[in-house]
Structure 1
Amino acid sequence: MDSKKVLVAGATGYLGQFLVKELKERGYWVRVLIRKESQKKRFDKVDDFFIGQITQADSLEGITEGIDWVFSSIGITRQKDGMTYMDVDYQGNSNLLKEALKNEVEAFQYISAINGDKLKQLKIFEAKERFVDELKASKIKSCVLRPNGFFSDMRDFLNMAKGGRVYLFGDGNFKLNPIHGADLAKVCVDKMIEGIEEETVGGMDILSQNELAELALKAWGKPKKVTHLPDWIRTTTIKLLRALTSSKTYGPVEFFMTAMASDNIAHKYGTHKLEDFFNAEVQALKEKL
């Protein structure tokens, strides 16, 4: 039984739910940040709930009292409710860090994303990396993890494959190794224990986009039909969206389309296979029909 008390911010998200489960299984005392009372029912083994809004500093007062470690996966992929990446990914985490510093928390782990430090020109990373810089410069032991795409993000391929054809930009040979949330949660805790300052984290299978497309089609029992679009369509789309829409609209598309134009290979961890995840997702969707 570990005596450390931990706070999980972002607990209701894809990774956060796995992280809470992993920490409880290892015997940690866990407090989670939630936005409203009704979210309590999503958790069955949590020691303490703190209700507050990450973007409202006043509402976080006391959140880190008695806490040894903070884990934050706070961030948004799609901007909504009038919130920007800077409001949530940067300012929200900065608000949390200020509380952690005030209460002399031992260590703070933040989940950014692979290559975020190299792609600061993207709206989504501009905010994340501004916080990373602030965290590293602070007087707290920091751990920055840079995961590859989550298995849940790969549902975009499954959704395309359902129609019988997957569209890719370029030749489809760029590679990535997405990771399951349960595997990533284990790494999060392990790296905090080890005191690692920074690490890229991916799954066990390194796959090309073509292989990803084929796995998605196979899961639906569809023949291999992959259309390769010229890369100029991708670059032109990004330029047009930047010129004609707000960051709320173009942010997620810019991120996805930029990520598709290079290899994204992180250190390999875990045991879950994407093929199994795809098959389980399709099975679940078919059962709903």
Structure 2
Amino acid sequence: MRCLFYSIASILLLTFAFGVPAAGALTASTPDSVNTECPVSGQPVKAGMEVETKGGNIGVCCGKCKAAVEGWSETKKAEFVATFATQDGEASPEAEAAASWDGDPYLLTTCAASGRPIDVKGTPTTKVVDGRELKFCCGGCAEAVAADPAKWLEKVDKAQIAAQAPIYPMDTCCVSGEPLMEKNDAGEMAYIGTDVIVKNRLFRVCCAMCAKKVTAEPDAFALQLNAAVMEQQGKDYVLEACVVNDKGDINKESAKAFVVGGRLLKTCCGGCEAKVHADPTTYVAKVDAALAAQREKAAASAGK
């Protein structure tokens, strides 16, 4: 019901404020911004809402998002603007990549069918099922899941929710903005949302309507989550050096920062970033261990 009200209110607001927009009118960048979608909310940018940078201005949708982007480091702002550089009037490959999401890698260490370690029989079998990467201990398991995905994937979803929920970067619905937490009878904040896995990524929403929207059009919401991950985990990054090279400097100009499976990873160079994408499970596990230690330390401090 909340989402229905939200959707109707949004439609009425846009209708009265702008009339009926021409196709694509709400997705065009403003004359003063390099981007078409707000990097925080994923919503269309609004004229007059820009954050100035040396290479170009970053468009946002509202004052709250503007404040969030203004809090970015100058390096992060420059990297964002650089992705929208043009080549002979066409968007650069970096810009196109920044505006799309192909799903997350399968990061569980157990077979999507049998539950056994994926390397129990040697090199794991990788198969894309319904647009989603999955890994298996053998070809037989891969074929079984491909033949009847619904029979097998519920337990995979549950395992991925358990792995990603502790590091989820937002406490509001990624579609409607409705809160996902409220006080229970004991006076403690409790989660009241709905968990949805799309292409191995956890999305937390407030209702079934928002769940359908995320499932149908996940790209913008995934990019929104990535921006939130960069913001949240970047404030107190868990590793002091490159996730690949323990001696690599993650503060130098050639360093890279990117999101894999809801985790922020930093490398000292593009070469190390390529190694992460070639073997994400190994390096995400390293970050997960550091994040778990960080949470335990915070819990211990809170209990004192």
TM-score class, shorter: under 0.3
**TM-score normalised by the chain length of structure 1:** 0.25
Structure ranking higher in helix proportion: 1
Larger Rg: 2
Q: Compare relative contact order (CA 8 Å, sep 6+) and give the higher one, 1 or 2.
A: 1
